[in-house]
A = this chain, B = another copy of it.
């Protein structure tokens, strides 16, 4: 018999409570589609009652279609002083027009007194009334029992009474939250078994969920234990982002459910997209990838010890708990030169480029890419740069223009006034030398404008390029303003969207590299489209 589970992602809401984790509305929309591709069942998009960004996000999403995932809006029970129909928070949930609504209420008596400052009875009333009021507006109505485990330990009867009210109000899933993240696995087990006995009398339609925080480093274990006891919904975030030490990490929970525990869910069919999805979230949040992260970390299948390396080559099972390819990751042998080639062939295949493993070209790409990665290049978010590199190596590239030189000048004359920026550029295009200049908002913007000005005369299609995103990452390991930077540029036209990369100690040089790759990619793809259609 297969066991089903609901995967509920709250990266866009609880995840953004993490220090330094901030997402724009555009980021949130892009992440939603990425999570939908992965097959996540529910995507919690934000708290419209407390955050104007969330309102914008839900409005934007009303015009878009998700393949599988259902969007959830999050909010609190109504204020005690308001009737439901006048409560701004509940109205904002309805206005979000999502198929799913999730509200949280207080389970712990001290929170009712200290935070809400109302009587215990009154809290029970607003839980039931808020849910009942929202019921006709939601396909699925979930109840997050905040601080449930702490509340249960201090006042078991009251915590259970809040759940009873949530059932009466119409919640179909009661999500038990370890809000402070303090629970240890053996406690979680005992409490869940108690709750299961309690709700058994309320009919089969009521299910339980788990929402764990990682302050004890046990959020993944607590969630898996809960599921193994029969809990049906698990809430968490990509890469475990969340307030303080984070939420339960879905990138560790999902593969355990699929590869080890025999569950079924849409996302468990797409486990090989997990690595990409995890990287994508780091990239958009502009946070460094945690290489030691289970399953999706760059070190997760990296072998360093000599004994391990030879054993793993004979039989991967000896030192790998799962096959890295199953989660879209790959094995790395850290101290051996033989590592490179299979890694690069793996990447080439992933990007759809045919490459004979035995050709000298493959070997030269291996060594070029190794050198570039040592310099700090990374192609996860820059597939267009990778394709250009491959095509240069196999000799199927065209040269559209050659740089002769550029200058970028910043002049600041007064405190309180921004500097003035001017860029000049000299290019050779098809035998013609072009020398032109532009002002800009900053040195990179000025250079970008000057380059387009120089080239559009020869390649009018370049006007179709829109720069969607520009990201800068300082590479760690070097100190201060002399450190290397990696620039990622995301561009699009009417056909597609593509990413390019540049690396240098000089941010203008790194930006230049990424911009040049973006232009070359556009011209190459236009040529390919033209060749196909003619």
Contacts and interface: CB of A to CB of B under 8 A. Distances in A.
Interface of A: 17-20, 22-27, 50, 110-111, 114-115, 147, 179-182, 184-186, 214-218, 220-222, 224-225, 228, 240-241, 243-246, 249, 252, 256, 260-261, 286, 288, 290-295, 297-308, 311, 314-315, 317-322, 334, 378, 380-381, 402-415, 418-419, 421, 440-445, 447-448, 466-477, 479-483, 485, 489, 504-509, 511-512, 515
Given A315-B114, A410-B506, A470 B474 contact: yes
Contact of A467 (B245, B318, B480, B511): B480
A110 B315 contact: yes
Contacts of A293: 245
A182 B316 CA distance: 13
**Total copies of the chain:** 2
A480 B469 contact: yes
Nearest to A24: B476
A311 B115 contact: yes
19 contacts: A110-B315, A114-B315, A115-B318, A184-B224, A184-B256, A186-B224, A215-B300, A215-B321, A240-B292, A243-B308, A245-B300, A246-B292, A403-B412, A405-B414, A407-B411, A441-B481, A442-B506, A443-B507, A467-B480
B115 A307 contact: yes
Given A245-B297, A256-B216, A412-B509, A180 B319 contact: yes
B181 A321 contact: yes
A318 to B, nearest CB: 6
A316 to B, nearest CB: 10
A363 B272 CA distance: 53
Contacts of A298: 19
Contacts of A403: 412, 414-415
B443 A24 contact: no
A129 B27 CA distance: 61
A159 B372 CA distance: 43
Contacts of A515: 481
Given A218-B224, A441-B481, 9 more contacts: A114-B318, A181-B321, A184-B224, A215-B295, A405-B413, A408-B410, A470-B474, A470-B480, A507-B507
